[in-house]
């Protein structure tokens, strides 16, 4: 778990996740909130949904990047033992 958190908060992982969220977030926002955006009917509720829409791909990307790094580390350790 510590290794996962270590990789999760590395600068490289964070930058990758921000890039993914910057691409996927607007697409998901348009898919899920296009009618509200066209009407201009903004509220705290809508804005919080939009923030969450960006946060989900950020979290998925950062988790998968960190998980991949942990698995690579485990694989390297196994290769050195063999």
pLDDT reported for residue 52: 96
Across the range 2-7, mean pLDDT stands at 95
| Burial class (CB within 10 angstroms; exposed 0-12, middle 13-18, buried 19+) of 44 | exposed
Give pLDDT tens digits for 52-67.
999 999 999 999 999 9
The tokens for 63 are: 């988790």
Residue numbers of the domain that contains 76: 2-81
pTM of the entire structure?
A: 0.85
Please count the structural domains in the chain: 1
27: nearest Cα among 42, 37, 40, 39: 37
* pLDDT tens digits along 13-48: 999 999 999 999 999 999 999 999 999 988 999 999
């Amino acid at each position: 778990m510590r290794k996962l958190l270590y990789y999760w908060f590395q600068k490289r992982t964070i930058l990758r996740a921000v890039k993914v969220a910057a691409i996927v977030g607007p697409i998901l926002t348009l898919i899920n909130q296009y009618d509200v955006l066209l009407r201009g009917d903004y509220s705290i509720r809508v804005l919080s949904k939009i923030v969450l829409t960006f946060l989900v791909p950020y979290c998925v990307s950062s988790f998968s990047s960190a998980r991949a790094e942990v698995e690579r580390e485990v694989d390297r350790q196994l290769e050195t033992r063999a």
